[in-house]
Amino acid sequence: MTKAIKVKNTEDIQTINSIVTEFPFDIWIHGKSGMVDAKSLLGMFLLSLNEPLELVIEDDEDPHDVKKLFKALGDYLDIED
């Protein structure tokens, strides 16, 4: 599953990283320059913020947990209900 994610600056990186580390499943951020583990702060700082980014998680994760993640990241995601 992928969702567009808005990351504008280093504060966004730190906040997003803080949120995703609370979840037990793998969460990735994918851009044209590559894919990084969203739970790795160092990896997150390697992102190019001038390109479209997507949040990537496995399709088979618990829907309840995914919904909680999307709610926690609500300020950064474009979610259509």
Q: Is-contact 14 42, C-beta < 8 A?
A: no
Segment 44-60 mean pLDDT: 91
Across the chain, which distance is largest between two alpha carbons, in Å?
A: 32
Under 8 Å CB-to-CB from 14, ≥6 apart: which residues? 41
| pLDDT greater than 60 at residue 81 | no
| pLDDT greater than 50 at residue 73 | yes
Whole-structure pTM value:
0.88
pLDDT digits (tens, 9 = 90+) for 12-33: 999 999 999 999 999 999 998 8
Would you state the pLDDT for residue 33?
81
CA dihedral defined by 76, 25, 3, 56, rounded to 10 degrees?
Answer: 120
| pLDDT greater than 90 at residue 38 | yes
Which residue(s) pair with 81 in the sheet?
Answer: none
